[in-house]
Amino acid sequence: MRGPIALTLLVLAACSGEPAINACGADQWRSLLGKPEAALSVIGKDLRIIHPGDAVTMDFNPARLNAEIDAQGKITKLACY
């Protein structure tokens, strides 16, 4: 009886961990931070650009690169979520 319970707890613990921080490859684009939004044109992948005040869905997609833009049109954050 302990085997199935222990296995279930192990599986649940594995599922609750943090997702891979760089699953979308955000680290390779860090050089774009502080540059104008137009610099994002070199990224040819699943990209979501977020401007101040934009409504953003809460769906989690670790393969999607999210680029946050400030009020001056500069890239302030690149992250996988």
Q: What is the pLDDT of residues 9-28, one digit of tens each?
A: 444 444 444 456 789 999 99
In a domain, 6, yes or no: no
What is the number of structural domains in the chain?
A: 1
Does the predicted model carry a pTM greater than 0.75? no
Mean per-residue pLDDT, 37-55: 94
Which residue segment(s) compose the domain that 58 sits in? 26-80
Q: Contact, 24 vs 65, CB < 8 A?
A: yes
Question: At residue 55, does pLDDT exceed 90?
Answer: yes
Q: Which of 67, 27, 70 is nearest to 46 (CA)?
A: 67
Q: Which two tokens stand for residue 31?
A: 């050089």
Sheet holding 65-69, edge to edge: 47-50, 65-69, 75-80
Residue 31 belongs to domain with CATH number? 3.30.10.10
